[in-house]
Amino acid sequence: MRRKVVLQISTMMALFGFALACAENPTEPTFDAAFDVPVASSQAISMNQAAQQTGYTLLKWRSPLGSDVHVSKRCTVARGCEIEMENFGVDVVVIIPGGALSQDEVISVTALAGEYVNFEFGPHGTQFNEAIRVKVATADTNAQKRQDLVALYWIYDANGNPVVQEELPATVGRKKIEFRPDHFSGYAIAM
């Protein structure tokens, strides 16, 4: 019996030691630099600076978000889904039509904390067979009478700085701003 306990403890210690040896730095989390860098207010400012380098300024929420607002939903290939986020000063609808997905997925939408209209959609890298629709209520933003808006697709570089990769046209209706991405990543609405 004692031999069995000693063997179990030795095995657990060996596994723990192996895990520590394999970690790059066991006291700090690691991130995929292209996607998973935590967004803090300084990075929101960096995102606005990245937008300004392309000639835009990020749209602002009427009331800054004190924390990320997140919602997720299972979507199917056949039926698609509609994901609604209507709380904490955010009114967003994501419409994924049937046939747009290649496999059933749990889709997530996160409005990032801070003053800028800035989102992360997941799973990151999801490609759609046709463009989906993202609608944001104009009443929640400073966009109201502007017609010259774009959605900026962004990623983080290896240093954790946001980099604009693509500009998508955004249409402004009476109550909604709409853009139509064909893949998921980070997007910010800019003017």
Q: Check which CATH number belongs to the domain holding 82 and give it.
A: 2.60.220.30
Distances (CA, A) of 115 to 62, 71, 119, 155: 8, 19, 12, 19
* Within a domain: 126: yes
Select from 60, 58, 137, 61 the least CA-distant residue to 92: 137
Q: Is the dihedral of CA 70, 100, 81, 117 positive or negative?
A: positive
- φ and ψ at 41, to 5 degrees? -60, -35
59-61-63 Cα angle (round to 5): 155
Q: What is the pLDDT of residue 62?
A: 85
Q: What is the pLDDT of residue 83?
A: 94
Q: What is the pLDDT of residue 186?
A: 84
Q: What is the pLDDT of residue 164?
A: 84
* Within a domain: 64: yes
What's the N-to-C CA distance of the chain in angstroms?
72
**Alpha-carbon gap, residue 113 to 58, rounded angstroms:** 14
* Structural domain for 185, as ranges: 32-190
* Within a domain: 24: no
* Within a domain: 129: yes
* Within a domain: 146: yes
User: What long-range pairs does 160-167 form, CB within 8 A, spacing at least 24?
Assistant: 160/33, 160/37, 160/43, 161/46, 161/50, 162/43, 162/46, 162/47, 162/50, 162/186, 163/50, 164/50, 164/51, 164/53, 164/54, 167/54
> pLDDT tens digits, the chain, 191 residues: what are they?
544 433 343 433 443 333 333 333 332 222 233 333 334 455 566 777 777 777 888 888 888 888 888 999 999 999 999 999 887 678 899 999 999 999 999 999 999 888 888 888 999 889 999 999 999 988 888 876 666 788 888 777 888 777 888 888 988 887 888 999 999 888 888 88
Query: How many domains, in total, are found in the chain?
Result: 1
* Within a domain: 108: yes
* Within a domain: 10: no
* Within a domain: 1: no
Q: What is the pLDDT of residue 45?
A: 64
Q: What is the pLDDT of residue 131?
A: 94
